[in-house]
Amino acid sequence: MATVLLVLYDDPVEGYPPSYARDGVPRIERYPDGQTTPTPERIDFTPGELLGSVSGELGLRAFVESRGHRLLVTSDKDRPDSVFERELPNADIVISQPFWPAYLTAELIAAAPRLKLAVTAGIGSDHVDLEAAIAHGITVAEVTYCNSISVSEHVVMMILALVRNYLPSYQWVVDGGWNIADCVSRSYDVEGMQVGTVGAGRIGSAVLRRLKPFDVGLHYTDRHRLPADVERELGVTFHPDVASLVRVCDVVTINAPLHPETENLFDAELIGQMKRGAYLVNTARGKICDRDAVVRACESGQLAAYAGDVWFPQPAPVDHPWRTMPHHGMTPHISGSSLAAQARYAAGVREILESWFDGRPLRDEYLIVSGGALAGAGAHSYSTRGPAGGNRPVSG
């Protein structure tokens, strides 16, 4: 019998939803590149339900228990006496989401002798120390592409919200005002601006495609250059490094994985090279940006505004300065956890577990670490050098 330790975020404050705003979510069978959406043998949930919180259990309990295994679900993590850390030494499989990550540090992995599989219900396995996973023969997998389009939609929403000054304008209405001058004094058009993405993988390229109709100049940098025909189709300009991109862009969006080369990439020096009054959107990982450098840039006006839904640590402490800095559009980490995305990543986790329990190979595109090395999607996107992965959060 295997113990599956599932770490999920808390239920809604008012309790698990008895009903939903819509009767379901659209059915999508393939992603834009042709990859099929998750294909488990079956699912035990209704797409459109809240699956990512504790009561939702990713729809896994009936399946896991029918296979004779134990499923333990908790939201309690990030402290030495948490349920997660108490149960980890006896866990064979750990599953968590990027939005509420179970940080698997080298120390915790060393204290978990039975652990053989770490699954990210979503995209992004930087909360796992990949070097330690490799050394201990642990397979690391994630549900690649399951919420990439969800995140790209969120990026476009945040860009428009910042540039058009939407959030302060909405607040005037909520507060009973009609202060048009206050609303428009920081409102601009996206049209004609230069917009760049740091990272042009599935999310970054989807952002570019969605922004093209806005009649903006498009730019990108990535260690994997897009094919020439794609560059021509999008009318996008390639930059060999981040510095050359940020100097020309009015809006910069970060869509790159966290690894040693991107950790604290947007520090005071790089932000200082951006246009004064540029907008910065980060839905990738909080540690790609220097926390205090972002705060100072928003206070000084070097950045007109900053938005994103990724923090370090997650959940962010109540005194995290990004909560109170001026001109921000921060949200909890929700960009990839829409109800539609949850249906896909819950189905993907089910597919991974079916294969694992049956002794079948996991999909190559789901693999991050396998056989003592980076594998599949991980070999394309990740690096094991340095301390970025899996480090325990100790402060905001």
What are the catalytic residues? Answer: 147, 285, 314, 333
Contact (CB, 8 A) for 116 and 98: no
Contact (CB, 8 A) for 89 and 115: no
Contact (CB, 8 A) for 285 and 126: yes
* Nearest-angstrom CA–CA distance, 257 and 201: 10
* Nearest-angstrom CA–CA distance, 395 and 317: 8
* Overall residue count recorded for the chain in this entry: 396
* Nearest-angstrom CA–CA distance, 365 and 372: 17
* Nearest-angstrom CA–CA distance, 154 and 207: 9
* Nearest-angstrom CA–CA distance, 154 and 171: 20
Q: Which residues, at least 6 apart from 339, have a Cβ–Cβ distance to it below 8 Å? A: 20, 25, 47, 48, 49, 50
